[in-house]
């Protein structure tokens, strides 16, 4: 015998449906600007953004300081000197997908010796080094699988990739890629490594290094499951390698890989290629090749894949932004200080076009120590506000300032605000008084100049008077009163009776 179950489930479905958030369209052709120069430790080349975008981790190359930055205010909230790290410099960092660990690659003073990866626990109030892992010489890049179980280290001066089990913190394989042009040789000097979004393949850029000659430069795709090579592209044999692949970036859908090649003074071999990736991880056709005069190095994609951010690998200060639809006519910015092997941390917001850019290079050039990094792009600030409010008390969010947009900026918000709150489309301010407690909710504010759009988020939590339990039967969305007319009650009663009769017939 079937029994009638609670009809309140219908109410839950209705509330969830009304809470859907609409997407925001963004122009990829807007002109990013230098939003701010942010003070940090000595040579802050290494930057990594938390998955929710609320915290930026900055590791100084030479002073080994780890700093936490609040992205809502772009100010440092904590500074830790990791005194147990005695290496000459930190060359790269990467966050675990769950945000509890930071992996930092240290290069020893004696560069003929292996590098060390430090496993830093950042889940508590202070960072703690939990383990160390010995790899090959001079780790130039790190990447981690989406499930967080495998870490890859590109060992520039060993010509190998260390495959690391992050559960045991041990190297489980050391991978070399043999040349298909001449099987007696190999692809030489791995610089950067990245993993496909589905976690099935990883990609490595191989440059040239005299200490590993003779060998080839190129790039390769390998299987995560067994480290076998799926596909590879090779260039010349050292000392005439031609192109020297350096930076890598993969689209969020895994369909395209961007590769940068950096050769000082050789424009023909200084380029960025957009390469199709087949479902089996092999390389398809080259969709676009953009010749770049400024020796491109690190590259990173905006979250919506519409913009490619590029740093330079020379004693200049160039930062470029390419629209990926054309890979032409980039915006070129001059950033104060020397850029050399610096990292890029793009916003995690799907509709945002800004990035944090590391700075440094004093160990490579005769230049002063750099003590700042940069925020570049189309930006609304404060970008990530967190409001913790109380019922019955008036409050307001901060007014927004737009960078990278021109003329009059108009703001909109999604989803709609609860009863008691209003939104100012000229300032981007949320204000008012809420009478009933609200669970944490996220709102997206979009600022548009008519051509381009930038976004910010506001997280709102309201504690205090709980209206839900006392007035569940007569309370609507966000605590607004739900009034049912006599006609509405008749319709609901009729529907309930009809449903009961249908169920009775099936007994």
pLDDT in tens, 95-137: 999 999 999 999 998 989 999 999 999 999 999 999 999 999 9
Query: Looking up tokens 């981790």, which residue turns up?
Result: 57
Of 27-41, 87-101, 248-262, 283-297, the one with minimum mean pLDDT is: 27-41
Q: In whole angstroms, what is the distance from residue 359 CA to residue 430 CA?
A: 35
**Contact status, residue 272 vs residue 292, Cβ threshold 8 Å:** yes
What does pLDDT average to over the chain? 85
The closest alpha carbon to 58, from 384, 70, 155, belongs to 70
For CA atoms 326, 324, 311, 239, the dihedral sign is negative
pLDDT at 17: 25
Q: List residues bridging with 139 in a β-sheet.
A: 155
Continuous segment of H or E residues that includes residue 11: helix 8-18
pLDDT at 505: 59
Of 103-117, 456-470, 472-486, the one with minimum mean pLDDT is: 472-486
Of 221-235, 237-251, 305-319, 399-413, the one with minimum mean pLDDT is: 305-319
CATH of domain 35-377: 2.130.10.10
CA 370 from centre of chain: 24
Of 79-83, 263-267, 371-375, the one with minimum mean pLDDT is: 263-267
Q: In whole angstroms, what is the distance from residue 373 CA to residue 319 CA?
A: 12
Tokens of 69: 């930055």
User: Percentage of the chain surpassing pLDDT 90?
Assistant: 62
**Contact status, residue 136 vs residue 158, Cβ threshold 8 Å:** yes
Q: Average pLDDT for residues 354-365, to the nearest whole number?
A: 76
**What does the pLDDT look like over 299-309, one tens digit per residue?**
999 999 999 99
Residue 444 has pLDDT above 70, yes or no: yes
- Band of residue 68 on the pLDDT scale cut at 50, 70, 90: very high
Sequence-separated (6 or more) residues with CB below 8 Å from residue 386: 54, 72, 458, 459
Tokens of 187: 């692809």
- Band of residue 357 on the pLDDT scale cut at 50, 70, 90: very high
What does the domain layout of the chain look like in residue ranges?
35-377
**Contact status, residue 107 vs residue 139, Cβ threshold 8 Å:** yes
């Amino acid at each position: 015998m079937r029994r009638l179950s609670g009809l309140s489930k219908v109410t839950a479905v209705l509330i969830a449906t009304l809470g859907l958030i609409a997407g925001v369209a963004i122009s990829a052709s807007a002109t990013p600007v230098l939003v701010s120069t942010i003070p940090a430790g000595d040579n802050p080349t290494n930057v990594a953004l938390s998955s929710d975008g609320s915290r930026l981790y900055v590791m100084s190359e030479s002073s080994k300081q780890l700093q936490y930055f609040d992205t809502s205010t772009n100010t440092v909230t904590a500074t830790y000197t990791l005194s147990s790290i005695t290496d000459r410099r930190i060359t790269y960092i990467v966050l675990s997908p769950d945000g509890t660990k930071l992996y930092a690659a240290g290069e020893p003073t004696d560069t003929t010796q292996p590098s060390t990866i430090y496993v830093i626990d950042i889940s508590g109030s202070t960072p703690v080094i939990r383990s160390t892992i010995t790899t090959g010489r001079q780790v130039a890049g790190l990447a981690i699988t989406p499930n967080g179980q495998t870490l890859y280290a590109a060992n520039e001066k060993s010509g190998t990739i260390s495959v690391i089990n992050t559960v045991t913190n041990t190297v489980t394989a050391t991978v070399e890629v043999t040349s298909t042009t001449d099987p007696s040789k190999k692809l030489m000097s791995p610089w950067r490594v990245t993993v496909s979004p589905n976690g099935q393949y990883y990609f490595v850029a191989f440059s040239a290094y005299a200490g590993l000659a003779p060998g080839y430069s190129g790039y390769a795709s390998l299987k995560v499951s067994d480290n076998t090579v799926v596909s590879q592209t090779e260039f010349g044999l050292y000392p005439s390698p031609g192109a020297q692949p350096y930076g890598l970036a993969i689209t969020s859908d895994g369909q395209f890989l961007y590769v940068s090649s950096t050769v000082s003074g050789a424009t023909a071999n200084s380029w960025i290629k957009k390469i199709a990736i087949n479902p089996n991880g092999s390389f398809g056709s080259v969709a676009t090749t953009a010749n770049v005069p400024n020796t491109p190095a690190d590259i990173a994609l905006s979250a919506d894949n519409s913009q490619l951010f590029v740093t330079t690998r020379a004693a200049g200060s160039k930062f470029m932004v390419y629209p990926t639809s054309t890979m032409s006519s980039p915006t070129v910015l001059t950033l104060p200080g020397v850029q050399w092997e610096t990292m890029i941390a793009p916003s995690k917001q799907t509709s945002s076009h800004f990035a944090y850019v590391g700075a440094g290079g004093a160990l490579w050039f005769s230049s002063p120590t750099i003590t700042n990094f940069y925020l570049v792009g189309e930006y609304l600030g404060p970008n990530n506000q967190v409001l913790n409010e109380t019922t019955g008390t008036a409050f307001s969010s901060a007014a927004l300032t737009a960078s990278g947009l021109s003329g009059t900026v108009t703001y909109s918000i999604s989803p709609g605000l609860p009863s008691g709150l209003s939104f100012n489309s000229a300032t981007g301010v949320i204000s008012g008084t809420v009478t009933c407690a609200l669970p944490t909710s996220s709102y997206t504010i979009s600022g548009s100049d008519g051509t381009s759009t930038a976004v910010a988020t506001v997280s709102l939590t309201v504690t205090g008077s709980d209206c839900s339990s006392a007035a569940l039967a007569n309370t609507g969305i966000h605590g607004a009163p739900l009034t049912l007319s006599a006609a509405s009650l008749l319709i609901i009663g009729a529907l309930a009776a009809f449903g009961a009769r249908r169920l009775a017939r099936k007994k």
